[in-house]
Structure 1
């Protein structure tokens, strides 16, 4: 999904250029949670949404759609900054997947819900994880960075190692940055899902299911290619759950 997202951002460069610059400027000059910067990011995300929706097959399964919206609303009520607004969408895809774009637009594949067996605790972790990307501005920066990198790749390179730096080198830095973001989003998901009354340890079960499904298939794992290894994420999720339990007992 990262490649699709990067190409989308690059293709929209001229169309959304002013809004990219406005959102980035507001983010740099104002506090992260400022109402103005969040509004600017939402306006950017709204335009991106229309483009993303055209490339996806939105699913009209009312039971699944109601399920994720209900869970998402409950989670959203526990986000401290009420300026953030979240919108949840179901789409059809045989590859279990979920992703967020700037402004709080979150997409979940129907196959991921099937994989979870409609387990509300696992779905809460998935949605919380994507909401974490939004609140921590990960998806906003990912959009800006992917756009900048793809733009840079169109500039003629000089020097013997220029092609390596432009292709493998830049991809390497993007993936490592993304891995750090994924760890942060997992931790955010533990705290948010717990605050909303869900069992965050279900996130570890979901990770195990993803890893056990068919780890040899690259297309199945495409979205998670820049994520930390599943076993590493499981350990981190469970250790974060233990910290919450200890804090609760101490209070």
Structure 2
């Protein structure tokens, strides 16, 4: 029989101490259970993402997204406005009808910042302040939702959470702050813009809504705007407007 090395002995002793402390402190025991369950779920997701079937990968992505969404909503609860939530769901459903093989859950939340958030598995959250800052409500709302859907479909939140999980960076108490600070790359934002414009055309919304939104902010970028902090986390307005105009011309010609 192989003898136990000192490193293994230390691990066993450490686990024993934690177990004994957990038994004496029920709150610690429950906390350990939550952490271990969350870690196992993330490890299972990584395994399926690397070597599983597409169905296993999608199922694991949805499960991780569900866990992250629950943690997110604990920090930014849904806005208690049934009419607003219904309007957002209707716009989202109209868009989602043109995204085959995907399901989305879109909600307005009471987040402290003016922003939108996309999580793996199709969870999209818009802050109340962001929605309130829209003028042409339905079409501009559709653009913002379609943009976040683009992140989900292109796998941007999955990539981000995947790397954060490997680095141990996802902490339940810091999730909202991390989603705001980490953001997406320039290429990912432009890719999501392109997806959004093409989706607006398919769903019958005003395809110029994204451009209108950016043009309005560009005119008043030296003045106070409720959308200013949202756009400040994205690539430059000039670059995005130029890119959107090119995509819009191409999308219109493809669906003429």
TM-score bracket relative to the smaller structure: 0.7 to 0.9
Note if 1:134 corresponds to 2:152: yes
Counterpart in the other structure of 1:157: none
Counterpart in the other structure of 1:239: 246
In 1, distance between residues paired with 2:135 and 2:37?
A: 40
Note if 1:187 corresponds to 2:186: no
The SS at the match of 1:116 is: coil
How far has the Cα of 1:120 moved from its partner?
Answer: 1.1
In 2, distance between residues paired with 1:13 and 1:235?
A: 45
Note if 1:202 corresponds to 2:209: yes
Which structure is larger by alpha-carbon Rg, 1 or 2?
2
Q: Is the 8 A contact 1:95 1:220 kept in 2?
A: no
| TM, length-normalised to structure 1 | 0.74
After TM superposition, the structure 1 stretch with the greater mean CA deviation from structure 2, 37-46 or 85-94, is: 85-94
Structure 1: gaps of 5 or more residues: 1-11, 152-173
Structure 2: gaps of 5 or more residues: 1-33, 170-181
Counterpart in the other structure of 1:29: 51
Counterpart in the other structure of 1:164: none
Tell me how large the CA RMSD over aligned residues is: 2.9
Q: Is the 8 A contact 1:13 1:147 kept in 2?
A: no
The SS at the match of 2:207 is: coil
Q: Is the 8 A contact 1:64 1:110 kept in 2?
A: no
The SS at the match of 2:125 is: strand
Counterpart in the other structure of 1:227: 234
After TM superposition, the structure 1 stretch with the greater mean CA deviation from structure 2, 110-119 or 51-60, is: 110-119
In 1, distance between residues paired with 2:203 and 2:162?
A: 31
Q: Structure with the greater relative contact order (CA < 8 A, sep ≥ 6): 1 or 2?
A: 1
After TM superposition, the structure 1 stretch with the greater mean CA deviation from structure 2, 122-131 or 16-25, is: 16-25
The SS at the match of 1:231 is: helix
| TM, length-normalised to structure 2 | 0.72
Correspondence for 2:95 among 49, 70, 75: 75
Q: Is the 8 A contact 1:215 1:221 kept in 2?
A: no
In 2, distance between residues paired with 1:67 and 1:35?
A: 31
